[in-house]
Every structure is written in C-alpha cells, then in structure tokens.
Copies of this chain bind each other. A is one copy, B any other.
Amino acid sequence: MSNPAPNATSSRPTVAMLLYPGLTLLDLLSPHTTFSGNMDIHLVWKNIDPIVTDSGITVHPTTTFADCPTDVDVLFVPGGRDQAATAADEEVLTFLEDRGSRARYVTAVCGGSLILGAAGLLQGYKAATHWTGRDILPLLGAENVNDRVVTDRNRITGGGVTAGLDFGLVVLAEMLGEDIAKITQLAMEYDPQPPFDFGSPEKAGPAFTQLVRTATAKTNDDMLRVVHELNAKGWGRARGGVPV
C-alpha cells in the first residue's frame, strides 16, 4: 500500500532526483516513496533514455538536465555501484553545482554524498555516507559524521542504502512539518525490526566488515581515483577554495 498522505499545500514542493547508470535503486526509491505523496518529483538525467539501475530494473528519466526546473526545493543524489563514473562526469557536476546553488535543500544518501562532494557541494559541511565511503568525504572537504542522517544548514545527507527511509522522513518533517512525516511513517508502517543487530561496522565487527569492504573495494578504489583527479581539476575539495 502506497503513501496516502494528503497534500499539505496546494503548491507542492519540487524535488529533482539525479538518475545515472548503475545507481542503487533502493537509494532512490526509499526517499521517493516518502516524498511522493506530498512533493512533485523530477527524475533527471542527461536525456530521457532508460537507465539501468544496479538492481537490473530500468528507470525512465522524467526530464533532462536542460529541461529540469531551474529552481527546485530539494536536490537529491543516490549512490550506486558505478557512482565513480558519474562523479567524474563534468556535465553532471555542472548540473548539480547549478541546481545546488539555489535549492532550498541539497541532499544525498549513501554514495550519493560522494557525488555531491565531487561537485564541491559539501565543502565545509558535515555529512554522512555509506560506511565504506567515510574516509573519502574528508578528501572532498566534508567532515564525515557516523550518524544515520546528518543535517548541517541546508545540507541533509544519509548513510548507506536503507538510511534513505530515515533520511526521507527527516526531510519531510523539515519541509512540511512533523505531522506529515508521521502520517507517512504510519502509512509505510515504518516500525523496523531487523532480524539481526548487524547494520553497521561497529555492530558487525571487523571480520564481517572486512568481507563487505573486500566485496565493495572496486567501487571505493574507483571513487578515490576520481576524487584525486577532480581535486586536481578544481572540483571537489578545491571548489570551496581550499588548496588541494
């Protein structure tokens, strides 16, 4: 059953959610589901060709970088297995830099925070990301915080994948008030009861943590390489004026 929360305002806030090949669909869909009852969502990419996400499920952009509203209330970026290629793409970074300069809220979950950072949008901000990417945030001028959702002025970022639910409700409460967020949480029956207490490296311990690090090493190695290249070009950490 989907989100039945009624509209809070006659003029609904707008959200631009970045799509890109290989994005993690759950990173996108959790916030999308929390927002969709009360906000107008644009799924944005360079063109409107179908995007294959890392779930194998294809998603169709609803608009392009050129046609996306110039002023949006929320800019959002998801993570993904192939996030480094997107972080390295200056057409993407230019779009994010532009919309991010005027958005009321500049947001991301999971590895999406690293893409925001690549665009120079987290310079001097506290932020969260997937736990495997925590060491990369400082290379982009951001201060990593190991919280589920981190709010620093108008930057709101979440941890890995499933943090998108907590993140989505925090953004909803911030924009439309706690009652709308609570109705949405109830409609989504978000009363989590994980079968194991194992959702962070601190809880899982070093052996399991190393297993996941090894399995995701390529994603992070690729991103590290891109971050160094971007900093040399004047994006990322350098964008905020901090010497590389």
* A14: interface (CB < 8 Å): no
> In the complex the two chains form, is A212's CB within 8 Å of B187's CB?
yes
The distance from the CB of A83 to the nearest CB of chain B, in whole angstroms, is 8
Contacts of A1 in B (CB 8 A): 24, 79-81, 83, 110-111, 130, 132-133, 160-161, 216, 219
> In the complex the two chains form, is B4's CB within 8 Å of A24's CB?
no
The distance from the CB of A64 to the nearest CB of chain B, in whole angstroms, is 17
Give the contact-size bracket for chain A: 35 or more
Per-residue interface assignment for chain A, residues 64 to 98, with 1 indicating a CB less than 8 Å from any chain B CB and 0 otherwise? 00000000000000011101000000000000000
Contacts of A199 in B (CB 8 A): 185-186, 188-192
* A102: interface (CB < 8 Å): no
What CA separation (Å) do A44 and B1 show in the bound complex?
Answer: 19
Contacts of A132 in B (CB 8 A): 1
Question: Which residues does A use to contact B, with CB under 8 Å?
Answer: 1-2, 4-6, 24-26, 29-30, 32-33, 36, 41, 43, 54-60, 79-81, 83, 110-111, 130-133, 148-149, 159-163, 165-166, 169-170, 173, 178, 181-183, 185-196, 198-201, 203-204, 208-209, 211-212, 215-216, 219
Apart from A58-B59, A186-B209, A187-B212, what are 14 other A-B pairs with CB-CB below 8 Å?
Answer: A1-B216, A2-B54, A2-B81, A4-B215, A160-B187, A161-B187, A161-B188, A169-B196, A181-B195, A186-B204, A186-B212, A187-B215, A189-B200, A190-B192
